[in-house]
């Protein structure tokens, strides 16, 4: 049974950065549910993929050094441990992972045309399609087998998880490996980072829910790693149950135990989380209002989809955060979805015009603080809402 635990109000499409601010934008209810049987956390409103993953999709994996390094490290590990002849990435974005492989070894799948064109130009076979059983059949006709399928921050965006895993299982060779990584529900709840929820993120996975889901497809997790990316993610290494050549790491039991101790299998945990989220909103608004009263100027750093959830849930307009900055060309000179806050092109000097910087991309805190040492040295301060709203 699906039980509601949090209402994040009406939210615009998170990656729909408009070139002109419109007061009336289409918004969708964002309510969060916990399934008492599968232990899966999901949002209720399903928006057609075509409306979200457009041909001018503004999210690029290569925009941060942190993500580039993470993909590079993973590519080394894949080559060393699994030695795949053919690897396929579902949601290849701008090629941040596949560019670390030879062109004959890697295939990308990317529904957003602007991104698919990037990897096509780089010379990689790229299917400008959504992941589906049809596509899996088409790829199988052209390739004998795929030894490794990888997908980061994509499968949780697809409504029909049964079709997703059925098609993966169909295409993967008998000893093939599936590696997926997505934000960790445990980290999200621990950090009170309710901004992990927006209309693209249909599910938020835990080891408990993935472990149970895979059983239907005769797949199982054989290793699991905690990553720092996206504010805390889990990387799941998956194989077929019949493949006994690979041993199952203790890490899985350890992670599941950690999640159980935290109560990720119980509805009451999520009810408590929702109370903390409401408190977080009050605290953040009190910080921003007090800065406004002191005539201090606040800049948002990183025009993230996560920040869109915060702005719209807390009703933050340009009187509280004057502008955002971002390095992504597709976001510059556009407006934060649902709000009248303009996104400016990042340059290191831009911070000098503001007294405070709100970390929209709090998940890149280390990278950003390292880059903005001068701002801090000159007396500038940062604001974050994770794990509790504060100035530092
Ligand atoms: P994400 O949190 O959804 O991965 O998005 C990160 C956004 O932050 C992306 O639009 C790029 C932007 N960004 C900057 O503008 N400057 C930076 O230094 C970093 C790390 C990210």
What spacing in Å lies between the alpha carbon of 266 and ligand 1's midpoint? 33
Of 232, 300, 306, 327, the residue with max ligand 1 atoms within 8 A of its CB, to mutate for a pocket test, comes to 327
Residue whose C-alpha is closest to residue 204's, from 173, 174, 232, 183: 183
Dihedral sign for Cα atoms in the order 273, 275, 279, 282 = positive
What is the model's pLDDT at position 45? Answer: 85
What spacing in Å lies between the alpha carbon of 133 and ligand 1's midpoint? 33
Residue whose C-alpha is closest to residue 235's, from 73, 14, 109: 73
Contact of 331 with 58, CB cutoff 8 Å? yes
Using DSSP's 3-state secondary structure scheme, residue 187 falls into helix
Q: Is 346 in the pocket of ligand 1 (CB under 6 A)?
A: yes
Contact of 251 with 223, CB cutoff 8 Å? yes
Task: Please state, in angstroms and rounded to a whole number, the distance separating the CA atoms of residues 10 and 112.
Answer: 25
Q: How wide is the angle at C-alpha 323 spanned by C-alphas 200 and 304, nearest 5°?
A: 20
What spacing in Å lies between the alpha carbon of 335 and ligand 1's midpoint? 16
Contact of 375 with 359, CB cutoff 8 Å? no
Task: Please state, in angstroms and rounded to a whole number, the distance separating the CA atoms of residues 136 and 167.
Answer: 6
What spacing in Å lies between the alpha carbon of 327 and ligand 1's midpoint? 7
Q: Is 302 in the pocket of ligand 1 (CB under 6 A)?
A: yes
What is the model's pLDDT at position 321? Answer: 98
Dihedral sign for Cα atoms in the order 61, 65, 69, 75 = positive
Q: Encoding tokens for residue 262?
A: 């935290």
Q: Is 326 in the pocket of ligand 1 (CB under 6 A)?
A: yes
Q: Is 63 in the pocket of ligand 1 (CB under 6 A)?
A: yes
Of 361, 363, 373, the residue with max ligand 1 atoms within 8 A of its CB, to mutate for a pocket test, comes to 361
**Which ligand 1 atom is the nearest neighbour of the CA of 331?**
10
DSSP-derived secondary structure for 321-338: S-EEEES-TTTTT-B-TT
Q: Is 362 in the pocket of ligand 1 (CB under 6 A)?
A: no
What spacing in Å lies between the alpha carbon of 363 and ligand 1's midpoint? 9
**Per-residue model confidence as pLDDT tens for the chain (392 residues):** 999 999 999 999 999 999 999 989 999 999 999 999 999 999 988 899 989 898 989 899 998 888 999 999 999 999 999 999 999 999 999 999 999 999 999 999 999 999 999 999 999 999 999 999 999 999 999 987 899 999 999 999 999 999 999 999 999 999 999 999 999 999 999 999 999 999 999 999 999 999 999 999 999 999 999 999 999 999 999 999 999 999 999 999 999 999 999 999 999 999 999 999 999 999 999 999 999 999 999 999 999 999 999 999 999 999 999 999 999 999 999 999 999 999 999 999 999 999 999 999 999 999 999 999 999 999 999 999 999 999 99
CA distances from 355 to 98, 308, 379, 383 (A): 40, 22, 8, 11
Q: Give me the domains of the chain, ranges plus CATH numbers.
A: 2-35+268-391 (3.40.50.720), 41-264 (3.40.50.150)
**Which ligand 1 atom is the nearest neighbour of the CA of 325?**
15
Q: Is 77 in the pocket of ligand 1 (CB under 6 A)?
A: no
């Amino acid at each position: 049974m699906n039980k509601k635990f949090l209402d994040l109000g009406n939210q615009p499409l998170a990656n729909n950065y408009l070139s002109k601010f419109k007061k009336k934008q289409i918004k969708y209810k964002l309510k969060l549910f916990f399934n008492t049987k599968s232990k899966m956390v999901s949002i209720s409103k399903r928006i057609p993929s075509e409306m979200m993953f457009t041909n001018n999709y503004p999210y690029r994996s290569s925009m941060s050094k942190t993500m580039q390094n993470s993909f590079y490290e993973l590519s080394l590990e894949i080559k060393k441990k699994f030695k795949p002849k053919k690897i396929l990435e579902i949601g290849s974005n701008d090629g941040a992972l596949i560019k670390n492989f030879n062109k004959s070894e890697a295939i990308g799948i990317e529904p957003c045309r602007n991104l698919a064109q990037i990897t096509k130009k780089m010379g990689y076979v790229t299917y400008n399609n959504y992941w589906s059983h049809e596509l899996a059949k088409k790829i199988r006709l052209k390739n004998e087998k795929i030894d490794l399928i990888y997908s980061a921050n994509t499968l949780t965006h697809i409504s029909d998880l049964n079709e997703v895993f059925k098609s993966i299982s169909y295409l993967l060779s008998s000893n093939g490996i599936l590696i997926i990584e997505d934000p960790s529900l445990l980290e999200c709840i621990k950090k009170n980072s309710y901004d992990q929820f927006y209309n693209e993120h249909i599910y938020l996975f835990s080891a408990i829910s993935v472990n149970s889901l895979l059983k239907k497809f005769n797949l199982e997790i054989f290793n699991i790693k905690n990553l720092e990316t996206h504010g805390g993610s889990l990387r799941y290494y998956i194989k077929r149950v019949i493949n006994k050549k690979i041993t199952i790491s203790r890490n899985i039991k350890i992670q599941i135990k950690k999640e159980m101790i935290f109560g990720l299998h119980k509805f009451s945990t999520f009810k408590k989380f929702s109370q903390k989220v409401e408190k977080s909103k009050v605290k953040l608004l009190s910080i921003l209002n007090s800065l406004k009263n002191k005539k201090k100027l606040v800049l948002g750093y990183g025009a993230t989809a996560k920040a869109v959830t915060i702005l719209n849930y807390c009703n933050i307009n340009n009187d509280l955060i004057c502008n955002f900055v971002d390095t992504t060309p597709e976001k510059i000179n556009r407006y934060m979805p649902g709000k009248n806050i303009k996104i400016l092109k990042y340059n290191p000097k831009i911070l000098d015009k503001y007294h405070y910087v709100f970390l929209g991309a709090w998940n890149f805190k280390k990278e950003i603080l390292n880059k903005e040492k001068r701002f801090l040295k000159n007396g500038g301060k940062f604001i974050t809402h994770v794990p509790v709203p504060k100035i530092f």
